[in-house]
Amino acid sequence: MKNAATHIRVSVGEIRIDSAERNAINKVLDSGRISEGEMVRRFEVEWAKYIGTKYSVALNSGTSALIAGLTALKHSRQYPKARKNAKIITTPITYIATSNAIVLSNFEPVYVDVRKDTFLITPENIKTYLENVDDPEEYSLILPVHLMGYSCDMDGINKIAKEYGLIVFEDSAQAHGTLYKGKKVGSLSSLSDFSFYIAHNIQVGEMGAITTNDYEIIKLVRQIKANGRMCDCPICTRKITGCPKMRGKENDLDPRFTHEIIGYNFKTMEFQAALGLTQMEKIDWIIERRREIVKYLNEGLEKYSSLIQLPKYDENVSYMAYPIVIKSPEKTSRKKITMELERRGIESRPLFGCIPTQQPAYHYLRHKYEGKLPIAEFVGSNGFYIGCHQYLTQEDLDFVVKAFGAIYDELLE
Ligand SMILES: Cc1ncc(COP(=O)(O)O)c(C=O)c1O
């Protein structure tokens, strides 16, 4: 029986620990090593291969990946603009981690409005914003988020970035495997973060990753995630061929305990990476099944499209969830609809809220942005999502369509 304790029938996300997952975890237990080791390295190789970048580094969460990536840019010789307090143009509609990482890394988030249909920031809005600022030199990065699996217009964003000398850092936490013009998101800019939190397409509990083609960035991320230690080799060769950092050195310095930069402990564990590898074997099926579900629900709910905005269907999208926006909140509020769904066992989550005006932690920015991000504020108050994960059955999908029918047929009469 599914989630009997909470009576949830259609969850936002679900993980199944089948025999492949159990075997992978048991192998880690038997290996005698649970902290970062072979499994993490293998996952990094597979993830980079899948996304289409030269490198990937796994970290203990997507938030850590964002912080480590931003910190790496500050230390990089190639990106002098990524200095303390520089401004980063980003989206107001995303999971809070994107903004938190910017602030905690001593940058300043600056928000531009989003598109109504996909909730993404657009090159047009970024351009208009930059054309009207006093000093574009205060800006260092654009941090677009591929929300719900939708890809931002990366050609447009990269073009503006080039024009203004900005770095682009994609947040691909919610878009595992989404294609943009034939390439995977996460491979379309200087670097990208991913999250493998529950409900994401590849899910392992807690873990994140950075992908990049830039050797300097990956080397710095490796250091930053391990308290800034000198070591940056993907595999330690100390016991085999000796440590390359020690060669020719007179002193007895141990690179594992010599710290070149101030970093964090963002290392992950073998269990998560082992689970990640089992999930990767199913990734094509996961993405395809989620797409089928989005298509099916869209067809079933089409008759309510005067009242709710349904997700845009696109064969290139790897859907993280099924987002819905209430079109006429004066007729039915999000609260009412989501409570009705919840009562029937259909879980939902709000579409995050407009960060600078609707998230209490960003209260200090409210005056600056109130009324300036109308679409983000509308989506933030009226958007929510339900699950479209691969374990939903045909009966579950029909149950969802019926539940919306029970709620909305009355309203349409
Ligand atoms: C867009 C986005 N960025 C960053 C994160 C942070 O990832 P994590 O929860 O693994 O720290 C998430 C998590 O869901 C996310 O959705």
CA of 387 to the centre of ligand 1 (A): 17
Q: Give the pTM.
A: 0.96
- Report the C-alpha dihedral over residues 244, 250, 252, 258, rounded to 10 degrees: -60
CA distances to 289, 295, 305, 326, 349 from 62, rounded to whole Å, are: 24, 28, 34, 29, 19
Q: Which of 195, 196, 272, 319 has the most ligand 1 atoms within 8 A of CB, as the residue to mutate?
A: 195
Q: Residues 13, 389: contact at Cβ < 8 Å? A: yes
Q: What is the per-residue pLDDT across 30-79, written as a single tens digit (0 to 9) for each?
A: 999 999 999 999 999 999 999 999 999 999 999 999 999 999 999 999 99
- Structure token pair of residue 98: 């994107």
Spacing, Cα 40 to ligand 1 middle (Å): 19
Q: What is the three-class DSSP state of 383?
A: strand
Q: Which segments within 34-138 are labelled E, that is strand?
A: 55-59, 87-90, 108-111
Cα dihedral 296, 301, 306, 307 in deg (nearest 10): -130
**Structure-token pair, residue 92:** 């107001």
Q: Is the pLDDT of residue 20 over 60?
A: yes
The residue whose CA is least distant from atom 8 of ligand 1 is: 62
Query: Which residues, 6+ apart, have CB-to-CB distance to 105 below 8 Å?
Result: 66, 67, 70, 71, 74
Does the CB atom of residue 95 touch ligand 1 within 6 A? Answer: yes
Whether the CB of 62 sits within 6 Å of ligand 1: yes
- Give bridge partners of residue 262 from the DSSP assignment: none
3 state SS of 390: coil
- Does 90 sit in the ligand 1 pocket, CB within 6 Å? no
In ligand 1, the atom with minimum distance to the C-alpha of 147 is 1
Neighbours of 217 (CB within 10 A): 25
Ligand 1 atom with the shortest distance to the CA of 66: 4
For residue 95, the CA-to-ligand 1 centroid distance in Å is 6
The residue to mutate among 12, 105, 148, 174, having the most atoms of ligand 1 within 8 angstroms of its beta carbon, is 174
pLDDT at 2 over 80: no
* pLDDT score, position 411: 67
C-alpha to C-alpha distance for 352 and 100, rounded to whole angstroms = 13
Give the pLDDT score at 6.
53
Coil, strand or helix at 110: strand
- Which residues sit opposite 93 in a β-bridge? 354
What percentage of residues in the chain have a pLDDT greater than 70? 98
Q: In this structure, are residues 61 and 197 in contact, taking their beta carbons and an 8 Å threshold? A: yes
The confidence score (pLDDT) of residue 388 equals 98
Task: Tell me which DSSP letter residue 4 carries.
Answer: T
Does position 240 have pLDDT exceeding 90, yes or no? no
Cα separation of 196 and 50, whole Å?
14
End-to-end CA distance of the chain: 36
Sequence letter at residue 49: K
- CA 198 to centroid of ligand 1, rounded, Å: 10
- Report which protein residue has its CA nearest ligand 1's atom 7: 62
Query: What confidence category does residue 413 fall into, taking pLDDT thresholds of 50, 70 and 90?
Result: low
Of residues 213, 212, 158, the one with CA closest to residue 180 = 158
Q: State CA 124 to chain mean position distance.
A: 23
Q: What was the pLDDT predicted at 332?
A: 87
Distance CA 369, CA 392 (A): 39
Structure tokens at 80: 């002098």
